């Protein structure tokens, strides 16, 4: 079989608006599945990369690493999926498969570097193109199953936003008896609230203002505070076992570290384009941990999808046609999203 051209939306150059293009998809190989993409979420990481905020972007760039669709064709060696299966693809589509992290199911920390779903080069040196597209060809080992109980549109954002919060919440023990704060109620943050609540933790939202308070409480938070009010930091000093920050902009970490109990952890998943400031006395006193976390492995992503299906946790989405992607980007940058834009890829 030969390379197929498929429709997609791409940023032709850094900071240029996205426009409709065609891109090549490789022939369906021995272990590949061809996915008919139904929905693709818009992650803030798409915007950082399409605008070259993290540097060294590969253009033209087709973003999209929150992919939900249906298997349309399988390679002869495929054993995990059949035509018609509901599947998802997240932030990476390959890794070395041999290092200690790949063998442990932590492919996102592969020592060779995982192959990103877009803005990366595959093993043949060809650029990868992401989910703002009608079809994608992916190795079955980097494809996950979307359980029947989850609609594909609200499942799409789980492939990045869901797993990025599920993994650290599990790793740092969010559960009954634990006080967990989620900083930033956006795409990642709102999944953090839902998942931490479902895990049994007592959840607090720390948002810039009280504008989204009703939503936060409905999603599963017990408390909601505005970080633009200094009194919040006085009232909550020494309160939390775990804080997960999803903020996309540089954030002064010292005032958040002060909200932790002794031995508490602040886990940062936000990926701002500039460095942040830190006074190390903020972690010395109270034996505190400042950590980071990046998405999750394939097996853990499947576990997260099964957990979300069991607990009825989809993303809160605003479904858009592809010609509204550029407008959606502006709204995400203005924190004006409730809580994930999802592209209906049939409009591409």
The binding site for ligand NAP (CB under 6 A) comprises 43-45, 48, 160, 164, 184-189, 207-208, 246-249, 251, 269-272, 293-295, 332, 335, 337
Residues 6+ apart with CB under 8 A from 30: 75, 76, 77, 78
CA dihedral (301, 186, 46, 328) positive or negative: positive
CA neighbor of 261 nearest in space, from 244, 228, 237, 290:
237
> Which position's Cβ is nearest ligand NAP?
186
Total site size for Zn ion, rule CB under 5 A: 3
Q: Which stretch binds Zn ion (CB under 5 A): 27-35, 40-48, 189-197, 273-281?
A: 40-48
**Residue 162: CB minimum distance to Zn ion, A:** 10
CA pair distance 159, 103, nearest whole angstrom? 21
Long-range contacts of 17-24 (CB under 8 A, 24+ apart): 17/326, 18/50, 18/63, 18/132, 18/325, 18/326, 18/329, 20/322, 20/348, 21/60, 21/62, 23/60, 23/62, 23/129, 23/133, 24/126, 24/129
Beta-ladder partners of 274: none
Residue 157 binding target from ligand NAP, Zn ion, none, CB below 5 to 8 Å by type: none
| Axis-axis angle for helices 161-171, 187-198 (nearest 10) | 40
Q: Which stretch binds Zn ion (CB under 5 A): 152-160, 178-186, 257-265, 327-335?
A: 152-160
Give the length of the chain.
Answer: 348
Beta-ladder partners of 344: 39
Which residue, 105 or 272, is less far from ligand NAP as judged by CB?
Answer: 272
Candidate list 10, 68, 87, 160; residue touching Zn ion; CB under 5 A:
160
| Axis-axis angle for helices 298-311, 187-198 (nearest 10) | 70
SS (H, E, C) 215-228: HHHHHCCCEEEECC
Which residue, 69 or 189, is less far from ligand NAP as judged by CB?
Answer: 189
Candidate list 8, 28, 35, 43; residue touching Zn ion; CB under 5 A:
43
Residue 167 binding target from ligand NAP, Zn ion, none, CB below 5 to 8 Å by type: none
Which residue, 45 or 115, is less far from ligand NAP as judged by CB?
Answer: 45
In the three-class reduction of DSSP (H, G, I as helix; E, B as strand; rest coil), residue 73 is classed as: strand
Which residue, 106 or 119, is less far from Zn ion as judged by CB?
Answer: 119
**Residue 45: CB minimum distance to ligand NAP, A:** 4
Residue 185 binding target from ligand NAP, Zn ion, none, CB below 5 to 8 Å by type: ligand NAP
201 binds Zn ion (CB under 5 A): no
Which residue, 45 or 119, is less far from ligand NAP as judged by CB?
Answer: 45
Which residue, 74 or 174, is less far from ligand NAP as judged by CB?
Answer: 174
User: Can you give the binding site for Zn ion, defined by CB under 5 A?
Assistant: 43, 45, 160
């Amino acid at each position: 079989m030969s390379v197929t051209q498929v429709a997609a939306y791409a940023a032709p150059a850094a900071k240029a608006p996205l426009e409709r293009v065609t891109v090549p998809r490789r022939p369906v190989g021995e272990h590949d599945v061809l996915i008919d993409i139904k929905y693709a979420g818009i992650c803030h990481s798409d915007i950082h990369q399409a605008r070259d905020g993290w540097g060294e972007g590969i253009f033209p760039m087709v973003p999209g690493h929150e992919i939900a669709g249906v298997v349309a064709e399988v390679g002869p060696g495929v054993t995990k999926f059949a035509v018609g299966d509901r599947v998802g693809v997240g932030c990476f589509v390959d890794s070395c498969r041999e290092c200690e992290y790949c063998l442990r199911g932590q492919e996102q920390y592969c020592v060779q570097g995982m192959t990103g779903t877009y803005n990366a080069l595959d093993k043949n040196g060809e650029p990868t193109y992401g989910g703002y597209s009608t079809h994608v060809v992916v190795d079955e080992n980097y494809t996950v199953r979307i359980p029947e109980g989850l609609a594909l549109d609200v499942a799409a954002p789980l492939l990045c936003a869901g797993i990025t919060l599920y993994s650290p919440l599990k790793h740092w023990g969010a559960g009954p008896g634990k006080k967990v704060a989620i900083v930033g109620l956006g795409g990642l943050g709102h999944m953090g609230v839902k998942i931490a609540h479902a895990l049994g933790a007592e959840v607090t939202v720390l948002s810039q203002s009280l504008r989204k308070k009703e939503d936060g409480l409905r999603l599963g938070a017990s408390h909601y505070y505005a970080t633009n009010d200094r009194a919040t930091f006085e009232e909550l000093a020494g309160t939390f076992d775990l804080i997960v920050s999803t903020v996309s902009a540089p954030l002064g970490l010292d005032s958040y570290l002060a909200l932790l109990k002794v031995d508490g952890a602040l886990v940062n998943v936000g990926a701002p384009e500039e460095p942040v400031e830190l006074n190390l006395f903020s972690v010395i006193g109270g034996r505190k941990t400042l950590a980071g976390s990046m998405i999750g492995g394939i097996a853990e992503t499947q576990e997260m999808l099964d957990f979300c299906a069991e607990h009825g946790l989809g993303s809160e989405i605003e479904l858009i046609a592809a010609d509204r992607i550029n407008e959606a980007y502006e709204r995400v940058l203005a924190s004006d999203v409730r809580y994930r834009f999802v592209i209906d890829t049939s409009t591409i």
